[in-house]
Structure 1
Amino acid sequence: MATDAMIDPLSFLAGGGEAARMIRARDWTGHPLGAPEVWPSSLKVALSLVLNSPESMILSWGPDLHFFFNDAYFPLLGPRLSWAMGARFDEVWADAMAQALPIIEAAMAGESRRFVDLPWKLATDRGAADTWWTFSYSRVLEADGSIAGLFIFTNETTEAVLNAAAVRANLERQEFLLGLEGQLRLHSDPAPIILAAVAALGRQLGAHQVAYADVDECGAVATVEYDWNDGPIPSNAGAHRLDDYGPDFAADLRAGRPIVVADISADPRTASPLSAESFERASVGAFMLVPIADDGRLKAAFCINQAAPRAWTAAELALARDAADRTWATIVRARADAALRESEGRLRFLDELARATAGLVEADALLTTTTRMVATHMGLSICAYADMDEDEDGFTIRGEWTAPGAPSLLGHFRLRDFGEATHRRLGSGETLVIDDSRAELPPQEAAAFQALGISATVCMPLVKNGRLTALMAGHRREAHRWTAAEIALIREVSERSWAHIERAGAAAELKATAGALAALNATLEERVRARTSELMRIEEVLRQSQKMEAVGQLTGGLAHDFNNLLAGISGSIELVESRLAQGRGDEVARYLANAMGATKRAAALTHRLLAFSRRQTLAPKATDINRLVAEMADLVRRTVGPAIEVATATDGELWPVLADPNQLENALLNLCINSRDAMPDGGRLVVRTANLDLGPDAAAERRLDLPPGQYVVLSVSDDGTGMSADVIEKAFDPFFTTKPIGVGTGLGLSMIYGFAQQSGGQARIESTQGRGTTVSIVLPRHHSPEALAEDVRAAPAQPMAKASETILVIDDEPLIRMLIVDVVQDLGYVAIEAGDGPEGMEVLRSAQHLDLLITDVGLPNGMNGRQVADAARELRPDLKVLFVTGYAETAVLGHGHLAPGMEVMTKPFQMEELGRRIETLIARG
């Protein structure tokens, strides 16, 4: 019986796929192995095994190792595939023989080896590439033990190797970024943060230089203040015009696009002669530049430089961008903290300066103290005060502070010696700022400053009553870049010093005039009238000066408190924006809570200001003070702490009063906190209530500034440190406080005083030093039979809004109107908007059903909120009304008396409280 081999001598190729077809198709004439039909059985068996394997395999046969392969090996041959079948091994892999030959020789010698992830540079079907292989070489023996060929089992592992490398690179990147953040957190000032960042980034990337530059407002100049260097590139610190490096380069940078240049001579953005010259001066051959944009404007940039061309990778660029973003966020936070510290330091210094000079009346004594304190605070070498000549051709330095051992500058000098520009600027009242006299001025003018030993200076001129004077601050030996904050501080000190001199002069003149009037009491009537007129003029000057000082104290206190609050709000919002941009949304809640807390404190401060100015919006109700005291007893005890005993002594027959219960609670709590602060070592606090019937004689005797009548007294007494008579006299003044700076605003007692007077009553203090203090709030008795105010702090359960219930919202501020409408709609009501009174009246006159009117009090275009509400009640008698206001227009609101169904809320208010008030009003039916 005939076998398959007898029928088909090439049956060993069965199942061999495309590789077997290639063997059949090849012309084997003249080949050393001969035709396939006559190949030895050992070759046929081995080749059949290779051809039918799904794994990538090679068989090299005979002394010349003729090359055979299966279908799985096709992708590895690349351009060799069409001719490699049956060719010699050294011809097929000529480009790899240097690496393959030692492995082949070892296998032929019986040393079979397996290689894992071995790198190999090959020409594949993807072109020349770095590849990695896992393979084994082993010899094939004939039956007699002779070497017949070489069997190679091979598998390309390039993808797995690259993936593993990418994972390692990502882990290294994350480790670097975490380490960088740890380094940055060690510093609180921008400079060490930047220095740590550029050094860490440079070492990680193996760069020659990493520089950080701030970009000016116009996006024209980048100033490198900090760079890290490790190689042939010198420091590039200084100012650089972006356009000098090429228009395409500058355009990409201003657009916020990273710039990666492997070779500045080959990149079209940097190859122009002008650009190449700029980079050659900087000794840069390749670079990556990462811009930092904020609020749509280029703010800064990180530049990673290499002296020679370098092929930057995408991973390196990604690392640089991440490092730049994290560093910038830290810089922004540090700069905000530094600005806050600088502001607080400035305010402390101005307060210290004011205290140190408050009792000085002589100008020279004032100037001596001022120049010394300014120089010490700012680290100056010299600070002097100069008067200009009447013809403004020279000046006389008459008050100075100089560093120990330095020569005095007191004396007269010609102004023109310092240059025409200096003469012109000072003569016109313009501030003169010189950072480096030797670099900025012509030699002759620079010499005049150097003769005084001044390298950097700020001369702040003031023209008062036609007289020119100046405060001069300077550094002797070194240049100094003056900041805007330093110049502003010198200006403020100059103006305050001049104002102080004017006040002292006015006071001295007033004293001298008063003495002259006393001595000339018997002079002619005409002379008396003239002197009296002059005295009144001088007194007016003094009063005006005192007014300005009071306004300065008020605005300074407000600015201090509001700057702190605004810094907290703006800083939190900036960090919210930064975290959202970084995808760190889980950290946002903390900053939003900080911003909301600062907003509430700002609202509390404005309420206190309105209270002491008698401009706050009150919601007076018939109030039982005994019940209010009882409900607050636990809160008071928790607030003052266990070291203080709290007792109450209330009149069981206490009359009701008409007052805002919420404001009365605030006033009581404020008094208890003040008593706690007056008893640092503990003590006893007593809250008392009593009726007071004032007849005409009693009213005059008690000197309460109240008309005869019936009143209720709420008082808080302590056995603390007490007050002196002069402190009692000022205690109700706004911003007056005996507490340390930053502990109290000085508005608490002034708020209580304003609330009491606005409620028709009065506030009084009785105190003895070392024995304690009693502060009393006296309010008029309320005779109306209406129900006493209930505790509305716990909102009752409210029914769901009906689809037909409609609310008209009138407010001329679109933002406030939008927020109120959103709250109304969130509650399920229908909202109708109007921007002013006339527009709202059109809705009120229509057939539209309305359940509630919400209106601002201060509206434009001829109708205020109260007028709209009164007109609405004429058209719709049962319409509920809720007023919202940020300022109490007392006359408009009827001196705090509102008709039934009308209520008022003071801006700013919480949206949740607005929702409760809306539902409560509508639920009343």
Structure 2
Amino acid sequence: MGFPNHRCTGRRRQGLREHVFAPMTSSPVPPVADPLSFLSDGGEMGARMRAFDWSATPLGPPERWPQALKTVVGLLLSTTFPMFVAWGPELRFLYNDGYIDVLDGKHPDALGGRFEEVWSELWRDVGPIAARAMNGESSYYENLPLTMTRQGSPQQTWFTFSYSPIRDENGAVAGMFCTCVDTTQMVLAQRERVNEAERLRRLFDQAPGFMAVLRGPEHIFELTNSSYQQLVGHRDLVGKPVREALPEVEGQGFFELLDEVYRSGKAYAGRSMLIALQREPGAPSETRLIDFVFAPILDAEGRTTGIFAEGHDATERHVAEQALRESEQRFRLIADSAPIPMWVTKLDRTRGFVNEAYAQFLGVPYDAALHFDWRARIHPEDVDRVVSESVAGEAERRPFELEARYRRADGAWRWLRSISQPRWGPDGEHVGFIGVATDITEAKEAEAALREVNETLEKRVTERTADLSTALNRLQAEVGERLKAEEALRQAQKMEAVGQLTGGIAHDFNNLLTPIMGGLELIATKIEDPRLKRIAEGALESSRRGAKLTSQLLAFSRIQRISMAPVAVNQVIANMLTLLGHTIGGAVAIRTDLDPEAGYALCDSNQLENAILNLAINARDAMPGGGTLTVSTRLDTLDKGPDHGAGAFVRVRVADTGHGMAPEVLARATEPFYSTKEVGKGTGLGLAQVYGIARQSGGTLRIGSRPGEGTQVDILLPAVAPADESLAPRAETQQRHGTGRRARILLVDDDPDVRTFLAESLRGLDHEVRTAESGAEALAILDHWIPEIALIDYAMPNMHGADLAAAARARLPDLPIVFVTGYAETELLEAALGPGAPVLRKPFSIEALALAVEDNLAPAPTAGRAKG
């Protein structure tokens, strides 16, 4: 019989030997213990240890291992918790299944190897710890960072482990025992939590809105961000109850809101609520507008443990919204003053705004006009074409024009030409269109008449074949005149539309400049400090230049009241030569050719000077390398033209030797805002303004130019006889400064700044003044108080200045009235008060105000006093 295996044979032989040599006894023999039973457990590593050739190592066969080593190896093989034993002077390595994952690629070669070789990359870190263990000292490390080789490359890991000495039967340290846990994932997760918490803290602190966390029923500050600190003035808040940290808020209702949110567990949102905060120690409280939310913080059981406060300082937004509303009101006032329909569309083609003229044309209320389907008013013959052209124009996002017949509220069909301009947002995005429409019915009727003329001419040509050459020449001449008339009509309509818009803008600027100029004038006369006096006078001069600009805009719009009188044209030019020399510089030579027979022209001398100066500046810009500027005058006789009457005209010509204009530029030279100069080098209003000045005087403008041959511009003004000098005002009259009697004055102006300035100035001149901001308020004052003179703003909402003047005259027929306005609508004024209505044009000096009152006061009553 054979033995099943070597180990069993050994045990049986040992048993036989023991049986042979054992003394004879009557009791049974106890079984012999298995010397390798400590390796019977351990899964994979138990099997590997049993199969390992330990005789090739200093440890020798396992059956001869010291009992201490057997015990600790049996212990580590009995658990899956990662453990290893390093035994003997060479610290030979033994480990269990739980340690396999720690070794990674070092398993299974690490079994029986030297500790220093198994963990060579860690030996610098763990070698000293192992040496202490071999010296009898236990060590424990938590989350120790170690760089070990895993998957063929160094990786950062963290371990919690202990090294303990193992003593043999004699008490000497023969090895060391280690239990360990790989805490790499735990450490990385903890670091991620810390990083996330820090990221959230930074986000909390950098949030644009203010935030705070309050804990407990006393609302103790636990956390605040930078915006919250900025709102309350950078105080030490954390750890303090809200009532102690912000005592000035007591009584404003916010503490009570916090108490209610904490009690009820329901959030509260507030919008645009006023809060008074003392943002600097010792400084007065500052009122802010805030939007905020008080949200309860709940625990796992749903109980309120604190409050999260979040919001925004809405003060600047409120101010901006208020400014926007005021701007929209000013825009609406200007737009409603325009006599032509205007509208603003959104991207969905709905109307966002229409003016009063738009609603009046449709004959519907303003709100209904916003949603009115304008296509319903297009003539059936035009509707398909107009809708198609409108859709195509909007798709291209470029300006486009439409012409069609529309049915007005009274049922009449009117031809309208609409111009639509794309609108762009602050970031350049397309947001819709803005459009205006002008009535071109008369122009269309003129075109029809011209077509009739053409048809007549064609008939005449057919009938008079014998005189074909003469008929053709006449036809060409008439066609040329027709084209000139069409072009003149187009330019007149364009100038009229833009002129109305610029007139409204200039009116608003004049309202702004009036109190500024008056206030600066008072300051300049009252202060003694020379430096401050120079500053005030400089600011006053700048405001006068602003007034000059508005005057030019009004001249361009042709609604400015100007002083039309016979002007010695040659004398005006002679007086300007020094100014022209300084303006255009030494590189340009100035020559004059003034005809003594030119005589006098009907115009405003200041406007004529502006026109010549504008033309001279344009000529200088056309001669960057130098050249010659020639100013000449002649007396011409002209036949009636499309833009002027027939008769004698004084021609003022400004010619240069510059680079000239191409035909396409020349065709648009008088268009407003059209300029070939670089951005910032010109407004495009120069020639348009000169054209407006000539037309106001009853004349016109002619321009001739070719590339490389220079440009000549002719201002044609009606020739008149010289003025009667006996009618000129006496010099002493011009020097008066309000030396008349004290008067009762009614002042009406819807602009509060202008009204305050005028009232204070008149009271400073010792007048009794009562003010009103509207026509209705002024008429109510007249019911119980009789003024000696009234100063009325012309452009006011609800009741126009002319309407108020008529109503006032109905109560007091002899009441003197002076209109105070940024522009004078002459025809309407004369319709209200007759020709020569006195007008005080904004902006003006206090002296001019005093003279306007004194010149228009009625003689002082000899008996009786006014009531009130």
The two structures have a TM-score, normalised by structure 1, of 0.37
Which of the pair has more CA radius of gyration?
2
The two structures have a TM-score, normalised by structure 2, of 0.39
- RCO (CA 8 Å, sep 6+): is it higher in 1 or 2? 2
